[in-house]
Structure 1
Amino acid sequence: MKNQDQIVREELRKFIKKSCTTEAISERTYRKFHTSLLKFFFSAVDVIIDYDEQSILLYNTKPLTNDPVKLFFLHEAMKTTVSYDNLEETLKGCLEQGTKQTKFYHSILLHYNLPEHTTNNPDTLSA
């Protein structure tokens, strides 16, 4: 029997597949979803996806000091480019196991208002 974490990741994989079709990529909602998932996985400040060039531009902050209050400065972000051949496989490769990850994936499914992709989680509140 599958546990809650496996079910959430499976549903997110289905949503990734749906979001990577040619028609879906043209929709702003799916583009925002792709960006959110990549930001979470790479701990990026900003992500820009060039669907035509098949590249992902990541902006990550770099540590400048040992002072925990002033550890990162957004205006000095490091830029990294990642190329991909298959966006769907790239996004699926960003899925990880863990409590924090499962909660984030579940919240993404809820945020995009996809009741068919959400699970019966007792921790989920409804209005």
Structure 2
Amino acid sequence: MKTKIIFLAYVLILMTRKTNGDQTIQKDSMVQVEEAQNVTLRCNYITTDSDPYLFWYFQRPGHSPKYILQRSKYSNNKESGFSRFDAQLGSEKTFHLNIENVEIEDGAVYYCALSRTVRHSCGAPVQNLPALI
């Protein structure tokens, strides 16, 4: 019997002191998928920055958030151990996380994050709770 796995994702925006309306948008409050299937966690973003940095993190209950990957126009970084996870910057300002062959251990809260190119000193991260996946 395949186990259903529930994914939640909150929006996490790493903001500079002046945000200029930058934001991530996530419309799904919860995604449910069966073990061994593929899943896509959707994230759209708005920014005036020509080279924003986008990130995905996940958090299991009782643990700190963990970094999965980061993308920008000129850089791609992924933490080791996440070969089944991938995300690309889409032409329509999308940054969806694709997880192949979902495992029970993948069930967690997932965070999509946006940071402008570092030109200013950064303020504290802000969690935008109304936008949930």
Judge same fold: TM > 0.5, yes or no.
no
Greater share of strand? 2
Q: Which has the higher contact order (CA 8 A, sep 6+)?
A: 2
Larger radius of gyration: 1
Structure 1-normalised TM-score? 0.32
